[in-house]
Amino acid sequence: MRKQLYRRIFLWVLLILSLVLLIKLIPTLTSSNTIRADDFVRFWAGAKLTLGGENPFDPTNINRLQAEAGMAISGEEITSIILNPPWAISFFLPFGLLSYPLSRLIWLLVSIILVVICSSLLWYYYKGLPNQKWIAWVAVIIFAPTISVLEKGQIAPIVLLSIVGFIYFVEYRHNDLAAGAFLALATIKPQIAYIFGLAVLIWVIQQRRWLVFVGAGVTTILLTLLPMILNPSIIPQYLSAMQTYQTAEWATPTFGSYLRFFLFGTNAIWPQFLPVVFGVLWFMFYWHRHARCWSWVERLPALLLVSLLTAPYAWTYDYVILLPAVIQATVWLIKERKSWSTYVLVGVFVGISILDLALHIKQSDFWFIWLAPAILIWYLLVRINNLRLKPAAIL
């Protein structure tokens, strides 16, 4: 008890000192020379435009605010706009009230907090020992997509929170309304976890858990009404942007993109969605096999891994939603820590992350088609190592 008391005092002192240091560094950290414009600038700009009653999906408006934030604008580049649905802007409206550097710093802190909360909950879901929770945080920090999503200022942590929150309220609180509310957050980027969404749809219908739909619907409506009050034309503006924006030029590290760029041509859109067909077929087989003893906690990693493997559009920073697989595998590795194979698998995990970060220095995301299969294979090897199952019985 005395050791626990000393530990708590040490942690509180460390927290207070960290907050004081952060407050002292705020003037420096919020300088435009310190924080450069990155992917977050489009969300900040969209929020700022919405607050002013302007079109948040207009490239001209976005360009103007990106230049204001210090981003170099080239006439040859396609302006990146918010391609997420209008209700996604609701999350960023408070940031539109602030300067870009300050809003970017706050979003970084919010993203870190979301990742830490989700990691802690996942550690609990997969029955990790409470006194070893720090191992989960280390694994999450080592995972390259975590670093990438924090560096880019992207919104995938919200999708991660949506998935983890849904599991929490379904499995542990038995509150379908709240589960649906969290589920609605995933609709800001549905393509990266589409098999998870399909599983929820079939599960709700089969189990007659209609309150999940109610919670998701009400939350989505409320999130949509907020920007509509400020800009009543935001939905037509979004639909118009989706019809005119040059999504065909996207070079994402997905199998669909490779089919278009190397086989069928960039003007052909349908190959982008061809892997989704295989993903759905896999899910039908997977659901048929496990539906009678369905456990969201147990099945979640496979659903997310195959979602990203076959997603029509995804970037490597979106892989932060694979933290359920990383945490589950980490718990398994700890249980088998006396085995030499455990250290090999840990080395492989670290190696994948280092390779990802090192190659990103000079290579664009398009060339990282190998990352999703590499993470999937690593996860399967860890599962085989832990359960001693045949590969055919894993997914």
* Domains of the chain, residue spans: 101-393
| Whole-number pLDDT of residue 304 | 98
pLDDT band at 390 (very low <50, low <70, confident <90, very high): very low
Q: Pick the range with the lowest mean pLDDT from 91-100, 133-142, 169-178, 238-247.
A: 238-247
At 395 the three-state DSSP class reads coil
59 vs 393, higher pLDDT: 59
290 within 8 A of 299, measured Cβ to Cβ: yes
pLDDT band at 25 (very low <50, low <70, confident <90, very high): low
**Tens digits of residue pLDDT in 221-247:** 999 999 999 999 999 999 998 888 766
Alpha helices (H) in 274-339, listed in sequence order: 274-290, 296-310, 323-335
Half-sphere exposure of residue 319: CA atoms within 13 angstroms, side-chain side: 31
pLDDT band at 392 (very low <50, low <70, confident <90, very high): very low
Work out the average pLDDT over 304-316: 97
What number of other Cβ atoms are within 10 A of residue 80's Cβ?
16
**Tens digits of residue pLDDT in 35-55:** 566 889 999 999 999 999 999
Q: Is the pLDDT of residue 340 over 90?
A: no
Please tell me the pTM assigned to this model.
Answer: 0.90
List the structure tokens of 238: 């979004």
| Whole-number pLDDT of residue 22 | 62
At 372 the three-state DSSP class reads helix
List the structure tokens of 55: 């079109």
Measured CA to CA in angstroms, residue 264 lies from 251, 271, 277, 348 at distances of 14, 7, 17, 35
Q: 239 burial class (0-12, 13-18, 19+ CB within 10 angstroms)?
A: exposed
| Most confidently modeled range among 7-16, 257-266, 310-319 | 310-319
pLDDT band at 75 (very low <50, low <70, confident <90, very high): low
Measured CA to CA in angstroms, residue 242 lies from 171, 211, 234, 246, 300 at distances of 37, 31, 12, 9, 31
| For helices 100-125 and 133-142, angle between their N-to-C axes, nearest 10 degrees | 130
Output the average pLDDT for the chain: 89
List the structure tokens of 123: 């550690």
